[in-house]
Every structure is written in C-alpha cells, then in structure tokens.
Copies of this chain bind each other. A is one copy, B any other.
Amino acid sequence: MVSKWMALALAQAREAADRGETPVGAVLVYDGKVIAAAGNRVEELSDPTAHAEILVVREAARLLQTPRLVGADLYVTLEPCPMCATALSFARIKRVFFGAFDPKGGGIDHGPRIFGQPTCHHQPEVFGGISEQACAALLVDFFKARRT
C-alpha cells in the first residue's frame, strides 16, 4: 500500500505548489485509513511550524484526542526536517516513509539525524526514497520556476 499513500501525499504536495508553498505533502495513516492529509501551509497560515508533517500530526492527534499516535504511519514526500522529525518521535509515530532525501534541510538521514540521538526516546522505523523521483521533481520544478 506504500505507493497508494505516497500518491496521496504527492497530490497534497502539488496542491501546496499551486498555493505558492514549498511542495511537500504528507498523509497520516492509522488503522489502515488516512486520517489526516496536508501540504505545507507556512506562508498561507503565517506559521513557521506549518510543515505538512506537523499539520497531519496535529490534526490526527486532535481527531484521536491524544498527543500519542501509537501505531500510526506517516508518508511524506520529503525527508522531514529536525523540527518535524522530533515531533514525529514525540507523537510515537511507528513508521516514516519519505520520498526525496534532503541533504540541506533533512533531519533524519542528514544534519542532526534526530532518531539516532541518544536523547531521542522513540525512534520510528524509517523508509526513505519511496517514489523518490516524483517527489524530488516537484521540488526541483518549483524552485526552478521561482528563480526565473
């Protein structure tokens, strides 16, 4: 089911691009169902924390009425940054599937490698590079268009 959920995350990323936001999208899967889906909304909401991952975690936690989403899986088109990676750990996310790797801003396979820190108490299982090409192409096209 990986590609199906990542396709939904990609659709969210495309909608983010249409809104002029960095095209990253995420879906939160719990008990075999998508319970939250979002794209980046930093500019629209004037909220520096409104990354796609944070938005779906907050929405899912609100729906399930608990800050701990034990057993939930996250699908996101880009490697989460350190802020999001830490939030995913706090939220007890079980598995993180991400698309493109992010050497400049990522916080899982790059930078502070949050889940590998001795002070990180919950480490989700991580699967990177899912639908990598499509996820990366969206970002490349977006920033190319902005530079011209």
Contacts and interface: CB of A to CB of B under 8 A. Distances in A.
Interface stretch (A3-11, A107-115, A127-135, A136-144): A107-115
Q: So how many copies of this chain end up in the complex? A: 2
Contacts of A57: 48-49
Contact of A117 (B61, B67, B87, B112): B112
Contacts of A50: 67
A62 interface: yes
B86 A61 contact: no
Interface in A47-69: 47-50, 54, 57-58, 61-62, 64-69
Contacts of A104: 119
Contacts of A69: 48
22 contacts: A46-B62, A47-B58, A47-B61, A48-B61, A48-B69, A49-B58, A49-B87, A49-B90, A82-B82, A82-B83, A82-B107, A82-B112, A82-B114, A82-B117, A83-B84, A83-B86, A86-B107, A106-B119, A111-B112, A111-B118, A111-B120, A112-B114
